[in-house]
Structure 1
Amino acid sequence: MDFKRMIMMEPTKKWAAIFIAFIKANQSLLIAYILNVLVFSFIYVLGRLPVYFLLFSIELSLFLGSCLFMFQFSKYYKKFRLLERLDKDPIGTLEQLPASQDINEVFWRLKIIKLIEENQQIEKKNLQRSSSQMDYFTLWLHQIKTPISAISLLIQRDSQTKFSYQMEQELLQIENYTHMALNYLKIEQSGSDLDFEQVSLDRVIKETVKKFSILFIYNRIQLDYQETAAVVLSDEKWLRVLVEQIISNGLKYTSEGGVIRIYMSPKKDQQLIIEDTGIGIRSEDLPRIFERGYSGFNGRIHEKSTGLGLFLSQEITKRLGHDLSIESTLGKGTKVTIDLARKPLIKDY
């Protein structure tokens, strides 16, 4: 039986499982004992000795064998209970195990302790390296926001330049990717700050649409927005990031003259729908769109996908206790449904 399954059992069932495991581990000794009793019984029969001698010998051997059996089982049971703490303190647990006279067991115990120590050192180095890289990446992302702001000011001063609209559009994309990377770092760190309050959904949507207005205008994409008049319990900052990501995706994959619709579901309360008439998603890609780094066929062909946007969106909805679902038809468009009804929050935020 699997060791982990035994640990999770109820006390009575666990005791029975340990007893069965002990029997299996010592079945060769039990077979040898039974054969020994049979040999002595055969000798008694051949020697025509009184039957009570045979019965007394069997009773005595059973008593002594039972005492030895219980003693060995007690050691086996204590050893098992000690090994239950192996995950929490592997080296300490192995060192507390009773000394063994079996040179093979001693060798393997020392080998396991050495491997655990080496693994702990590797994990420590990887953690330090990962922390350093994360600190550097975070610093770089914050620093790059300065030249982005400077470029934005220069564009505003000289708004009559021939390529000013195109420059504004590309600058907005740079800002969007930078914020996505920062939000990805924050969402990956345990203990991401969440501040739940009653949030005006229309305010979040209008601010997001205003942010992307240059893309709507430049790409001649029509906005069909029906005010929701909804107030939801959520974290406004992360809800805005979620809505921004969905609208940004719609703008990215919707051609000139397309439409993005934003409205509340007529069928179910607290369901926000963001629908576009873009290129859509292949049916075979749909099951994997929320995987980290997965860009799908359209993302690879059009070279627009980072493979992080929908992963980030899914992680945000989990932490907010909401739900996110996507329906799409290739060549016709994509429909994203954000269920803003609260669900139990995941435990690792």
Structure 2
Amino acid sequence: MDYKKMMTLVKSTNKMTDIIKAFIKTHHSFFLAYVLNLGIFSFIYILGQLPIYFLVFSVELSLFIGGCFFLFKFSRYYKRFRLLERLDKEPIDTLKQLSSNRDPSEDFFHLKIENLIEEMQQVKKKSQQRNMSQIDYFTLWLHQIKTPISAISLLMQRDNQSKFSRQMEQELLQIENYTHMALNYLKIEQSGSDLDFVQVSLDRVIKETVKKFSILFIYNRIQLDYQETAAVVLSDEKWLRVLVEQILSNSLKYTPEGGTIKIYMSPTKEDKLIIEDTGIGIRAEDLPRIFERGYSGFNGRINEKSTGLGLFLSQEITKRLGHEILIESTVGKGSKVMIDLARTPLAKDY
């Protein structure tokens, strides 16, 4: 017998033991009455000085009838117990099956339970409809906001001599970045069937991301130290690009003018991408919570730059892709983001 079968047998044995204990506890008054009844009859036989074989026959007959009765009661109790286990998954069908052999005294409780389940299902249905409506609205809004962003970008390209042109260009890029982040945030919850795992050139993803943020590198005089990786990883290219964009955007946001951002592969572990900056860093007490939804930490509250969604989104993406992300940081020195891109190919990926 293999380990899994043995563990299943142990669990089923433990469950049966628990059911028997629960049955005895529930019907302990019947057991006591039965034992007391046997004791009274035995006492009468002894007082009447009747032949011992009458007593033995009576006890055996009583035990047989009592055993059959309790076995019948236990079988019904066992079936009812197993039905109750399905109450969470199939509440309505389970209650209907329980109704066929229930005690009339339980009618009131069953009626209340059915009403509560119906109310819960209605509330859940309304909540899902409301959430879907909100998602549809925000998705539509995010797609529509892209139009004025593109229009502003074209206007700025025509008049690039304006005094505030550089600053407007940076702010426009930030608006576009936040818009994409919000759109990806909505999509990530429904991306289970949207993943397409292929062999991805990591350098292509990095170069396209760096090109997107080139304005911020140039205008803020942030030096880029990029060492080509020559790595090909198994991942979803679209979501991997979003992941790299989020990390690089964070580094640019918190790296002061004249700082440096390094992008390279770990010299000690294969398929581990490192994005390191000389930014303001993250406090040690904030590090355990940086991946929480909406948590911006001390830096976000002071600088009012953080939405608390970037790193949350990054971790959600790494989970979906089967990768891992880890951040090390020291206040005043900078942060190091390590993305382990190693992933074991699964049959369902193809």
> Which residue matches 1:90?
91
For the pair 1:342 / 2:343, whether they are aligned, the reply is: yes
Q: Which amino acid aligns with 1:38?
A: G
Q: Which amino acid aligns with 2:102?
A: S
Q: Structure 1 CA distance, aligned partners of 2:101 and 2:321?
A: 52
Change in CA separation of 1:221 and 1:122 when aligned onto 2, cut-off 3 Å: same
| Paired residues of 2:255 and 2:280 also in contact (CA < 8 A) | yes
Q: Structure 2 CA distance, aligned partners of 1:130 and 1:59?
A: 67
Q: Give, in angstroms, the shift of residue 344 of structure 1.
A: 6.8
Q: Structure 2 CA distance, aligned partners of 1:336 and 1:222?
A: 17
For the pair 1:100 / 2:108, whether they are aligned, the reply is: no
| Paired residues of 1:321 and 1:344 also in contact (CA < 8 A) | no
> Which residue matches 1:143?
144
| Paired residues of 2:192 and 2:320 also in contact (CA < 8 A) | no
> Which residue matches 1:246?
247
- What secondary structure is seen at the aligned counterpart in 1 of 2:283? coil
Q: Give, in angstroms, the shift of residue 56 of structure 1.
A: 2.5
> Which residue matches 1:28?
29
| Paired residues of 2:227 and 2:263 also in contact (CA < 8 A) | yes
Q: Give, in angstroms, the shift of residue 86 of structure 1.
A: 2.1
> Which residue matches 2:49?
48
> Which residue matches 1:293?
294
Q: Structure 2 CA distance, aligned partners of 1:57 and 1:147?
A: 95
Q: Give, in angstroms, the shift of residue 16 of structure 1.
A: 3.7
Q: Which amino acid aligns with 1:31?
A: L
Q: Give, in angstroms, the shift of residue 49 of structure 1.
A: 3.5
**Gaps (5+ residues) in structure 2?**
1-7
Change in CA separation of 1:24 and 1:190 when aligned onto 2, cut-off 3 Å: farther
Report Cα offsets for 1:104-155 as digits up to 9, x if no partner: x221111111100110011111111111111011000000000000111111
Q: Structure 2 CA distance, aligned partners of 1:244 and 1:37?
A: 81
Report Cα offsets for 1:254-308 as digits up to 9, x if no partner: 1111111111111111111000111111111111111111111111111111111
Q: Give, in angstroms, the shift of residue 40 of structure 1.
A: 2.7
Scaled by the length of structure 1, the TM-score of the pair is 0.92
> Which residue matches 1:323?
324
> Which residue matches 1:283?
284
For the pair 1:120 / 2:97, whether they are aligned, the reply is: no
- What secondary structure is seen at the aligned counterpart in 2 of 1:182? helix
| Paired residues of 2:325 and 2:338 also in contact (CA < 8 A) | yes
Q: Give, in angstroms, the shift of residue 85 of structure 1.
A: 2.9
Q: Structure 2 CA distance, aligned partners of 1:243 and 1:47?
A: 94
Mean Cα deviation higher: 25-34 or 272-281: 25-34
Change in CA separation of 1:102 and 1:9 when aligned onto 2, cut-off 3 Å: farther
What percentage of residue pairs aligned between the two structures are identical? Answer: 77
Q: Which amino acid aligns with 1:274?
A: I
Change in CA separation of 1:309 and 1:339 when aligned onto 2, cut-off 3 Å: same
Q: Which amino acid aligns with 2:73?
A: Q
Pairwise CA RMSD: 2.0
> Which residue matches 2:66?
65
> Which residue matches 1:109?
110
> Which residue matches 1:166?
167
| Paired residues of 1:186 and 1:192 also in contact (CA < 8 A) | no
Change in CA separation of 1:271 and 1:173 when aligned onto 2, cut-off 3 Å: same
Q: Structure 2 CA distance, aligned partners of 1:120 and 1:177?
A: 36
Q: Structure 1 CA distance, aligned partners of 2:9 and 2:60?
A: 39
Report Cα offsets for 1:150-195 as digits up to 9, x if no partner: 1111111110110100000000000000000111111111535122
**Gaps (5+ residues) in structure 1?**
1-6
| Paired residues of 1:280 and 1:332 also in contact (CA < 8 A) | yes
Q: Structure 1 CA distance, aligned partners of 2:204 and 2:191?
A: 28
Q: Structure 2 CA distance, aligned partners of 1:155 and 1:192?
A: 39
Change in CA separation of 1:264 and 1:101 when aligned onto 2, cut-off 3 Å: closer
Scaled by the length of structure 2, the TM-score of the pair is 0.91
